Amino acid sequence: MEKTLANFYLVPLPLHRRRLLERGFNQSQLLADYLSQCLSLPIISENLWRKKYRKQQAKLSAKKRLDNIKGAFAIREKNIFFGKKILLVDDVVTTGASLNEAAKVVRLAGASTVWGITIAKN
């Protein structure tokens, strides 16, 4: 494994439970599961959660995406991220609004390092 990824934890961007019921799966979780197998990195799921149901980011302009995602994420237990290196996993990045908002929340929970990884750029 790449030395720079040593001691990182994968954290998939969560869907709101309503959106998860609509889709039936979280594509970021599926991607994190795959990366975990390939890179032998542990996953922390469920601690970062989407507390507010919002419009789909993909259907909004860049400006509206920033407003739409503000305050959408929360942490269940802050100690879980404290001092850890976090690799946020998302499927697609367009403006980076979701990753940036999630990173802000994870940093406030005490993560020492926060990176993002996506499979595609729109």
The CATH code of the domain that includes 32 is 3.40.50.2020
Q: In the prediction, which pLDDT does 94 show?
A: 76
Task: Tell me the residue range of the domain where 69 lies.
Answer: 3-121
- Dihedral sign, CA of 49, 54, 59, 61? negative
Q: Kindly report whether the global pTM for this prediction surpasses the value 0.75.
A: yes
Q: What's the structural domain count of the chain?
A: 1
Least confident span in 11-15, 21-25, 50-54, 80-84:
50-54
